[in-house]
Homo-oligomer: A and B are copies of this chain.
Amino acid sequence: MTTRIVELRRGILKKNDELAAGLRRRFGDAGVLVLNLVSSPGTGKTAFLEITLRELRARGAKVAALVGDLETDNDARRLAASGAPVRQINTHGICHLDAEMIGKHLAGWDGVTSGDDASLAGLEYLFIENVGNLVCPSSYDLGEKIRVALLSVTEGEDKPLKYPTLFNSADAAVITKMDIAEPCGFDRELALRNINEIRPGIRIFETSAKTGVGMQEWLEYLAEARA
C-alpha cells in the first residue's frame, strides 16, 4: 500500500503544482501580490492579518483575503471588519488549502469583481490565511509569491528545527505576540538562530498585533515586494 500512497501523493502534488503555476501567471498578469500565511493554530495569523489589512487600506491599497479553516467562518468575520473583501474557505476536514480551492474562490469576488479576472485586476494585495497546521500546508503551492511562516513567542523556540519543511520553503518569517515575550520566557536569540539555521538570511519580523510593534517594517516590506 505504501507504494500506491507515494505514487498517488506524487500525482496529487504534481496536479497541485500545475494549478498553482496557472494561478501564479494569473496573479502576475493582474499585478496582484499574493501571500500565503502558514502557522500553527493559535499563532495569531488572523490578528496579524487584521492589522495588515486595516493599515494597507488606510494607505489606500486595494486588499483582499481568503481564509481557510476546517469549520466556522469566525476568521472571515473578524477580517471583514477591516472593510476588505474576505472569503472563508471551509475545508471540512482537509488539513491544508490547495491550489484548486484557491482557484474556485477567486471567481466573482463580491465587491471587487465583475467577470472573472476583472476581480483580480482590481486588487493589489491578496492574503491567503492557510489552515492552522505547521506540516501539511508546506507541500501545497497556492501560486503565492511570498510564503510567510509565522511563529508566536509562546510556541517554543525549536519549532523551526522540528518543522523544517515549512520554514525551509518560506520567504519571510514573522514572530508574533512579542508583547508577551517576557512572561513566556521567550529566548529571542535562540529563536532567531533556529530560524536562520533552517533558512539562512530569511527576513524576520518581530511583531505584536496588540502593541503594533514591527508592523511598520512589515508594511514597508510589502510595499517593496509589490514594487
Contact = CB atoms under 8 A, between A and B. Distances in A.
A147 to B, nearest CB: 17
A93 B165 contact: yes
A201 interface: no
A177 B162 contact: no
Contacts of A5: 8, 12
Contacts of A206: none
Given A74-B161, A74-B162, A177-B154, A135 B95 contact: yes
Interface of A: 1, 4-5, 8, 11-12, 15, 40-43, 69-72, 74, 93, 95, 131-136, 152, 154-156, 158-159, 161-165, 177, 179-180, 183-184
Contact of A162 (B15, B72, B158, B183): B72
A73 to B, nearest CB: 10
Given A72-B162, A95-B136, 7 more contacts: A5-B8, A8-B8, A42-B154, A71-B163, A74-B158, A132-B162, A136-B136
